[in-house]
Chains A and B, each alone.
Chain A
């Protein structure tokens, strides 16, 4: 049975992490394994973790390394972590989450500090795509092993001055045409595409609200150093929904 790993700690985000893990496991046809990394030589999970009655498995050793190792297990298909940072803050995730994100070989869901705590089934995914073959393929191939159940894919493409259509004869009609073409080219299974302009992070937030999605999906190169992953930073910093990050190098696992 495939496993979705939920990493919990005593922080307030834990209920949301567990809820997100359950939702993802439902989508992927997997079970949830709630883990807690014990530090300072403690041998059992901290009492009172808000895990909705689920059993918590305790790991030992350094937190970051322990989580990366746990994620690497053959039957683990994804992990769910709390961002451990203030939304809209200077850094998008806490140190631990960042460390794991940059090293994980599996998809990881990052749950925002005030993420939804209910285990609503995931019915609709938002896929922000930049409109290139490689990046689109990375998202679709990375996502595929997690889709055991039907889910609606909503694609978001945010135009920048560099990616703007250069010519639009009849804008409203041409944009509809472009939408169809975008779906055909980059995400043939998508239900629809949202075309927007402006700052990506802001547009993702808007689209999440407008389209009532449950999860944002991004492929990334796992490099959060300055000058890299600007879009991922923006989205992690502002998203009110869990964000699924697909390591671009991981490729399909299923």
Chain B
């Protein structure tokens, strides 16, 4: 393993004695200067030592001003101090109980006694916080040996122990361990610096774990961290004291030793040698790399990184997979020098062109760079920190890195470096402004302006550039350049490194409230995390969000908003990023006037949301599109898929259920439920027998259009009417509508056929040709293309979950116990010709107690974009499938349901999974549910009531509670 002198670290965790300074009396001014400079550059510094704050702070005396932070992790894992301009402040301490202290005392004394029995003189030399230190060579010649003489010290100690008939240092430590255990020290930590053996409650691993957790909270993990020490190999057969810093949490960190290491180091440690002088040089090198604008690294954790497809044929799909967004804007993962074959896109949410129908307005290309000889290459999407990295396959070749700052709406960041001749020519460093959309002088029309500035640097091995860019956009008027230019000035003042650190930390915060882990299937584990990553970036955490079917990852369907947003994406965000779900609802609320106008235009009341909408909320569904052969194809969805009216209301109610925000439904969201119910009340036709009908509609199964009494539409309308009535009861039923709505809902036919014990998908469905998908091919299959729309319309083959979608969305509206039979009937008739279908079926199969049958469909949904199963990922990622994936995990496999009094949990795991863990927000608090086959552990920040596996309500207290699922055999 070769040491990379060009590797940049965002955090340095290091031992003090022997690593940073040769001894306690040494001058540490060089270390101090480097530490303060690193902190100014945004690097986090952690000093790890067994000694106390007086010793370390007295010698280091650093007073960093940030933004990187200095921590002193001292007293061998028992204390942590944060150091600022005013000096150290204690931020964490492990406090021993009186019993623990007494046990430590006993252990130390018994160790001295046990050694004395072997004629070895030893002394308890210090009684420090949480530990006792025993000197096993209390001789004047070895009173305070410098670290550089550790080899000689070891020889002396070994000889001394040998004279006493003790096999070596390891034997003393083993003796200390058994003595400590006998003395009652819980989890005793035995360490040695050769001269001493310490018995403690903590050791450097506790310091390292604290440091790792603190850094992870800021998105600094893996090889972004350097762990440095001088005792990382064994000494006298005993694990070196600094090796305790290499905890599992830092297993992907870069580890280096500047020590003598007389017995060598393990394979993952870089043995640099050179002592403190070398260490100071390491720190200075880090500063030099920053001055040269060298690129930060990406933590190549396989569970958190996605390698973009390298097959040139999949380039455009790769660009979608590698898209980055922050909810406000998104940019595809196109290469910086790409032209032909690329489908780059920078788009701002909700900003459309003036076409009919409108399309997402492509913004200026801000990622273009003069880069040569950069291929073959590899691109890596880092899900943990929202960064897309690229590197030439050859060592030392060009690299690029980009991100869309998560919490800075108008910011974009790109950096590149390369050897001579690959990056350049160096441009000027003045701000450049580019515009897309309406001309500056125009009265109206959307526009996007990007102001960008490149900062160049050269070093002995090449050139580097950092580009900061700021955009301004307006969906109705040409935006002013000045706004983007001002935004750019702000970014320039912050600087690349600080923006990067801020961005990492922002993603860490986002992941703190959202997470998934599937133990037992690494591919699905990563795929599910990939889905969550894009969901977490699809909408801003506030304001309003027009979430198109492909989000901001591609231009397919013009960026129009479909039911995908309300029924698939929104419920996931309600649990993962409630503010973003709220922004999606705000989009609907602000388009209520347009929905009311559409209802009026149809001669109806209430609000009729259109099947596809853009900026204004008008119906932008194309009525005809050009088919692949150029012939026009009629599109009926805009006219017939009325169920979106109830879908919008359902999304609002789901949001309230997950967030507990009833004030939303009583306030700004009330009309989403009431006006949609009012629409259905005017739309339903009642026959002479008092039965309500909805004629001429299309359900989610688009193979069968213009049908009567589609079960999905009718039952969703019934649910909507009942919800509206309930809300009117709460808010005041001024028009006296609630009772009529309930009556109308009760009379709506729902397709239930008592004779068959099934729901009929629509009137006349039973009379269709009873074909199964398996007679044609293996699903998923676009049967309409294969057979032709007319032929498939005559069969019972359906495109996607329709009746079954009701079991997923509103199971309480259907006959109790009807899921299994509906699933058995419609499952074999479903072609899954829609990307929305597999995840929902997987969810229902899990609910029906068939989790192993659910797995293949879940896998299709999980890999839909990563494997480009549709061939259309180039047009953007299928965000609704990703939302469906979350729902399959949450509702299907974990059985989560937000009840009025408790969170219901009822796991149903596939046999191949050892566990499934989801982290989400429920009513204002972060909850983590981990299900195994025999137990569920619920971890929470605040007290919570849960219902596990159908049992009664049970309290769950922080930090968590485990519930057995079945009795052990």
Which residues of A does B touch, CB under 8 Å? 133, 159, 161, 164-182, 184-186, 188, 193-195, 197, 210
Contacts and interface: CB of A to CB of B under 8 A. Distances in A.
Given A188-B341, A197-B786, A166 B628 contact: no
A161 B786 contact: yes
Contacts of A170: 557, 635, 637
B780 interface: yes
Given A175-B628, A179-B628, A164 B872 contact: no
Contacts of B874: 177, 180-181, 184
A161 B781 contact: yes
Interface in B755-796: 776-777, 779-782, 784-786, 789
Interface in B871-901: 871-872, 874-875, 878
Contacts of A171: 633, 782, 784-785, 789
A165 B628 contact: no
Interface magnitude class on chain B: 35 or more
A63 B114 CA distance: 105
A168 B787 CA distance: 14
B554 to A, nearest CB: 9
Nearest to A170: B557
Contacts of A172: 625-628, 633, 635
Contact of B784 (A166, A168, A195): A168
A186 B313 contact: yes
Contacts, number: 108
Contacts of A178: 628, 871-872
Interface stretch (B327-335, B739-747, B833-841, B951-959): B833-841
Contacts of A181: 316, 871-872, 874-875
B870 interface: yes
Contacts of A176: 625-628
A173 B557 contact: yes
Interface string B628-639: 110001010100
Given A159-B785, A181-B316, A167 B628 contact: no
B777 A161 contact: yes
Contact of A167 (B341, B864, B875): B864
A167 B870 contact: yes
A221 B252 CA distance: 50
Nearest to B626: A176
B646 interface: no
Contact of B781 (A164, A177, A179): A164
The interface centre, meaning the residue of B315, B341, B872 with most chain A CB atoms within 10 A of its CB, is B872
Contact of B785 (A133, A164, A210): A164
A176 B631 CA distance: 11
B782 A167 contact: yes
Given A168-B870, A184-B341, 17 more contacts: A161-B777, A165-B870, A167-B780, A167-B869, A169-B834, A169-B835, A170-B557, A171-B633, A171-B785, A172-B625, A172-B633, A177-B875, A184-B315, A184-B343, A194-B628, A194-B629, A197-B786
B321 to A, nearest CB: 14
B340 interface: yes
A179 to B, nearest CB: 5
A170 B564 CA distance: 12
Contacts of A180: 874
Interface in B302-359: 311, 313-316, 340-341, 343
A167 B625 contact: no
A6 B835 CA distance: 52
B189 interface: no
Interface in B361-386: none
Nearest to B834: A169
Nearest to A176: B628
A166 B836 contact: no
B503 interface: no
Given A175-B627, A181-B316, A181-B872, A169 B785 contact: no
Given A167-B833, A167-B870, A185 B313 contact: yes
23 contacts: A133-B311, A164-B786, A166-B779, A166-B781, A166-B833, A167-B832, A167-B834, A167-B869, A168-B782, A168-B833, A168-B870, A169-B835, A171-B633, A172-B628, A173-B556, A175-B785, A177-B872, A181-B316, A182-B871, A184-B315, A184-B341, A193-B628, A197-B785
Contacts of B622: 173
Contacts of B341: 184, 188
B780 A166 contact: yes
Contacts of A166: 779-782, 832-833, 869-870
The interface centre, meaning the residue of A170, A178, A188, A210 with most chain B CB atoms within 10 A of its CB, is A170
The interface centre, meaning the residue of B556, B779, B784, B785 with most chain A CB atoms within 10 A of its CB, is B785
Contacts of A188: 340-341
Interface in B258-317: 311, 313-316
Contacts of B628: 172, 175-176, 178-179, 193-195
B878 to A, nearest CB: 8
Nearest to A162: B777
The interface centre, meaning the residue of B549, B556, B629, B875 with most chain A CB atoms within 10 A of its CB, is B629
Interface string B808-852: 000000000000000000000000111110000000000000000
A171 B869 CA distance: 15
Contacts of B779: 166
A135 to B, nearest CB: 12
- Please name the 5 residue pairs, one residue from A and one from B, whose CB atoms are nearest each other, closest first: A172-B633, A185-B313, A175-B628, A168-B782, A166-B780
A186 B777 CA distance: 25
A141 to B, nearest CB: 15
The interface centre, meaning the residue of B313, B781, B834, B836 with most chain A CB atoms within 10 A of its CB, is B313
A210 B316 CA distance: 30
B800 to A, nearest CB: 9
A181 B314 CA distance: 9
A169 B635 CA distance: 13
Contacts of B635: 170, 172
A133 B313 contact: yes
B840 to A, nearest CB: 13
B614 to A, nearest CB: 15
A55 to B, nearest CB: 45
Nearest to B632: A172
B626 A165 contact: no
Contacts of A169: 549, 834-836, 870, 872, 878
